[in-house]
Structure 1
Amino acid sequence: MSLRFGELRVMVASSPDAAREIMKLHDAAFASRPLSPMQELAYHGAGEGVIFAPYGEGWRQLRKICAVELLTPRRVHSFRHVRADELSLLLLSISAAAAATSPSPVNLGERIAAFVADSTVRAIIGSRFEHRDEYLRMLQEGIKIVPGMTLPDLFPSSRIARLVSRVPGKIERHRRGMQKLIDTIITEHRERRASGKDDDDEEEEDLLDVLLRLQKEVNSQYPLTTENIKTVMLDMFGAGSETSATMLQWAMAELIRNPRVMRKAQEELRRALAEDGKVTEDKLPTLHYLHLVIKETLRLHPPAPLLLPRKCGSPSCKVLGYDIPEGTMVIVNAWAISRDPAHWQNPDEFMPERFERCGRDFRGTDFEFIPFGAGRRMCPGMAFGLAHIELALAALLFHFDWELPGGMAVEELDMTEAFGVTTQLQSDLVVVAVPRVPLSIE
Structure 2
Amino acid sequence: MQDLLVLTLSLMLLFVAMVVRRHGHASSKAVYTRLATRLKSTFAGWLRQPAIVIRDRATAHRLLVRGCVGGSFSNRPPSMAPSAVLSHRRYHNLTSAPYGPFWRVTRRNLTSEVLHPMRLHRYAAARRDALCDLVADLKEQCTSSPDGLVLAAESIRTAMFGLLATMCFGDGVDPGLIRAMADAQHDLVQFFPELRVFAKLPAIARLIHRQRWSKLVALRRKQEEMYLPLIHARRSRQRQSGETPAYVDTLMDLRVPDDHNKRRRPRRLTDGELVGMCSEFLGAGTETVAAALQWIMANLVKRPHMQEAVRPHFGFFTVMKHPLRAHLAVLP
What TM-score do you get using the length of structure 1 for normalisation?
0.53
* Residue of structure 2 in register with 1:95 after alignment: 139
* Residue of structure 2 in register with 1:139 after alignment: 185
* Equivalences for residues 333-412 of structure 1 within 5 A: none
Query: For structure 1, which segment, 228-237 or 111-120, has the greater mean C-alpha deviation from structure 2 after superposition?
Result: 228-237
Q: 1:44, CA displacement in angstroms?
A: 6.4
Q: Distance in 2 between matches of 1:277 and 1:180?
A: 39
Aligned pair 1:61/2:102, yes or no?
no
Q: Distance in 2 between matches of 1:116 and 1:225?
A: 26
Aligned pair 1:34/2:34, yes or no?
no
Partner-residue secondary structure (3-state), 2:78: coil
Q: Tell me if the contact between 2:79 and 2:96 (Cα under 8 Å) persists in the aligned partners.
A: no
Q: Tell me if the contact between 2:181 and 2:226 (Cα under 8 Å) persists in the aligned partners.
A: yes
Aligned pair 1:201/2:245, yes or no?
no
Task: Count how many residue pairs are aligned between Structure 1 and Structure 2.
Answer: 271
Q: Distance in 2 between matches of 1:101 and 1:63?
A: 44
What letter corresponds to residue 106 of structure 2 in structure 1? L
Q: 1:277, CA displacement in angstroms?
A: 6.3
Q: Cα gap change, 1:44/1:262 in structure 2, threshold over 3 Å: closer, same or farther?
A: farther
Q: 1:83 aligns with which of 113, 127, 133?
A: 127
**Structure 1 outlier segments of 4+, above 6 Å:** 11-19, 43-46
Deviations 1:270-318 (A, max 9, x none): 2x3264267553420121x1xxxxxxxxxxxxxxxxxxxxxxxxxxxxx
* Residue of structure 1 in register with 2:18 after alignment: none
What letter corresponds to residue 224 of structure 1 in structure 2? R
Q: Distance in 1 between matches of 2:136 and 2:278?
A: 29
Q: Cα gap change, 1:38/1:109 in structure 2, threshold over 3 Å: closer, same or farther?
A: closer
Q: Cα gap change, 1:282/1:188 in structure 2, threshold over 3 Å: closer, same or farther?
A: same
Q: Distance in 2 between matches of 1:29 and 1:262?
A: 47
Partner-residue secondary structure (3-state), 2:320: coil
Cα RMSD after superposing both structures: 3.5
Q: Tell me if the contact between 1:151 and 1:162 (Cα under 8 Å) persists in the aligned partners.
A: no
Q: 1:115, CA displacement in angstroms?
A: 1.2
Q: 2:303 aligns with which of 258, 272, 282?
A: 258
Deviations 1:48-83 (A, max 9, x none): 422211122222222222233232212222111111
Q: 1:113, CA displacement in angstroms?
A: 0.9
Q: Which has the higher strand share?
A: 1
Gaps of 5+ in 2: 1-39, 256-265
Deviations 1:340-368 (A, max 9, x none): xxxxxxxxxxxxxxxxxxxxxxxxxxxxx
* Equivalences for residues 124-273 of structure 1 within 5 A: 124-130=168-174, 131-147=177-193, 150-153=196-199, 155-156=200-201, 159=204, 162-164=207-209, 166-193=211-238, 198-202=239-243, 204-214=244-254, 224-227=268-271, 228-270=273-315, 272-273=316-317
Q: Cα gap change, 1:156/1:45 in structure 2, threshold over 3 Å: closer, same or farther?
A: closer
Gaps of 5+ in 1: 216-221, 290-442
- Structure number with bigger Rg: 2
* Equivalences for residues 6-25 of structure 1 within 5 A: 7=44, 20=61, 23-25=64-66
Q: Cα gap change, 1:210/1:159 in structure 2, threshold over 3 Å: closer, same or farther?
A: closer
